[in-house]
Amino acid sequence: MDDRKFSVLIAGGGSTYTPGIVMTLLESQKQFPIRKLKFYDNDAARQKKIADAIAILMKERAPEVEFLATTDPETAFSDVDFVMAQIRVGKYAMRSVDEKIPLKHGVVGQETTGPGGIAYGLRSIPGVIELVDYMEQYSPNAWMLNYSNPAAIVAEATRRLRPNSRIINICDMPIAIMDRMAKIVGLPGRNDLVFRYYGLNHFGWWTDVRDKTGRDLMPQLKAYVAKNGYWLQDQEPGKEASWISTYKKAADVYALDPTTLPNTYLKYYLYPKYVVEHADPNYTRTDEVEAGREKTVFGECARVVANGTAKDIQFQASNHSTYIVDLCTAIAYDTKQRLLAIIPNEGAVANIDPEAMVEVPCLFGANGPERLSMGNAATFQKGLITEQNCVEKLVVDAYEQHSYIKLWEAMSLCKIVPDAQVAKDILDEMIVANKDFWPELK
């Protein structure tokens, strides 16, 4: 009988996503039993606000599971089977800067896209590498599921700088879209779909979506997306305005290639003019997150702590957290479930650089992911992917070589930046804003 129970560390314990993950872990005890849950963060005060509420929850719902929150790497990373990494280096204050500087220059300002994503990438690389090193030092057999953004740049950095590490870079955007696809065709959820998908992170396309009997769902999905994008209309009351707009805009992204279904993030690359025209440079996504998700999560934690009970706690499992627990389950029990991950291409997309970090379906088991072959990228996709992948590689070159020129090239090559002078103006402002985080560029 397999009576193993696992020890899980959430790195970035102060993240707004932490309570949702804890709820999923508690609800998944049959599927993925845990014996220990730890939080690690380098901001003790922020983490404590979440940890104090979760300590009450754990005591009430799973007293047999040991729980602790720490800022000490050795305490955090020792005796761990899975690390769930979700750090935001520079926090929301720097995300806000990433969004607002480009917008001042008429360029898309976004967390993972364009100059904002590049700036965030340079901050995230050392933060995530530090976590990998702690894991290798204190729990060398553990796996890290990393979804700290910008996942594409972080993945390229870990491929190059820690090639043998047990880190799997993942993203919940295609997962959220597949849950929407399931709703559109009337199936319970994304795990009822069999799909083919390829691209880079936040930069990919579905080429095939079927149900488990092999029925082709693409015609029904395409007809829906052509009209509504991935917006579920009256099924999503209370959804934030920016997300409704993103889901709707997928209709225009789809129109460019009616043979596939797109990732929503492609709107930033294919319709940057529209995005900038509809942005408010004084109130960006960070402001929306701070006024929305962050306030709600920390408010709910404070309420639980004040009441001294988590009986009526309002946190819920989400597609984000269930995906992470699905991945842990697949690795722990060698299920060979077909799940998306960002991994070295090595032929998975035949006509794309074998060294690109691509996002493709993999069979997940005890040895990690086994990539599935997605064939050739079509010409349109090949062109877009090749350019964007070179941007991501140049960012990691700039990080490794402390090179101003490489970073300027990355920003100039980026599809949403109109010319090299604009790229330089943005870059020079970003260097000043990121002086506490970036390597000094020569």
Q: Which residues have a catalytic role annotated?
A: 172, 265
Q: Which of 285, 371, 393, 406 binds ligand LMR (CB under 6 A)?
A: 285
Give the nearest residue (CB) to ligand NAD. 14
Give the residue, chosen from 8, 9, 10, 87, that forms a contact with ligand NAD under the rule CB under 6 A: 87
DSSP 283: B
Residue 127 binds which entry of ligand LMR, ligand NAD, none, with Cβ cut-offs from 5 to 8 Å by kind? ligand NAD
Distance CA 137, CA 130 (A): 11
Residue 357 CA to residue 343 CA, distance in Å, equals 5
Q: Which of 4, 5, 43, 347 binds ligand NAD (CB under 6 A)?
A: 43
111 near ligand LMR, judged by CB under 6 A: yes
89 is an interface residue for ligand NAD by CB under 6 A:
yes
Residue 151 engages ligand NAD in binding (rule: CB under 6 A): yes
Q: How many residues belong to the site for ligand NAD (CB under 6 A)?
A: 25
* Residue 110 binds ligand NAD, judged by CB under 6 A: no
Nearest residue to 153 via CA among 176, 179, 135, 126:
126
Q: How far apart are CA 235 and CA 249, in angstroms?
A: 18
Instruction: Name the nearest CA neighbour of 200 among 347, 438, 385.
Output: 385
Which has the closest alpha carbon to 388: 155, 150, 156, 203? 203
Q: Which of residues 129-148 bind ligand NAD (CB under 6 A)?
A: 147-148
Cα angle 336, 339, 341; round to 5: 120
Asked whether position 127 contacts ligand NAD by CB under 6 A, the answer is: yes
Find, among 306, 255, 275, 226, the residue nearest to 116 by Cα.
275
Name the token pair of 224.
């829906």
* Widest CA span in the chain: 65
Q: What is the size of the binding site for ligand LMR (CB under 6 A)? A: 4
| 180 vs 196 by CB, closer to ligand LMR | 180
User: According to the binding rule CB under 6 A, does residue 15 interact with ligand NAD?
Assistant: yes
Q: Which is nearer to ligand NAD, 171 or 416 (CB)?
A: 171
Distance CA 23, CA 215 (A): 34
DSSP code of residue 103: H
Decide: is 289 part of the binding site for ligand LMR (CB under 6 A): yes
DSSP letter at 339? Answer: E
The partner in contact with residue 263, picked from ligand NAD, ligand LMR, none with C-beta cut-offs of 5 to 8 angstroms by kind, is none
Helix (H) / strand (E) element for 146: namely strand 143-146
Q: Smallest distance, Å, CB 172 to ligand LMR?
A: 8
| Min CB(149)–ligand LMR separation in Å | 6
Nearer to ligand NAD, 41 or 99 (CB): 41
CB contact at 8 A, 285 and 99: yes
Contact between 58 and ligand LMR per CB under 6 A: no
What is the rounded distance in angstroms from the CA atom of residue 149 to the CA atom of residue 155? 9
The residue range among 9-17, 240-248, 277-285, 349-357 that interacts with ligand NAD, by the rule CB under 6 A, is 9-17
User: Considering only CA atoms, which of 32, 83, 24, 101 is closest in space to residue 57?
Assistant: 24
What is the closest distance, in whole angstroms, from the C-beta atom of residue 25 to ligand NAD in the complex?
A: 17
Regarding 86 and contact with ligand NAD (CB under 6 A), the answer is: yes
Q: Smallest gap, in angstroms, from Cβ of residue 311 to ligand NAD? A: 25
The DSSP bridge partners found for residue 368 are 365
Interacting residue ranges for ligand LMR, rule: CB under 6 A: 111, 149, 285, 289
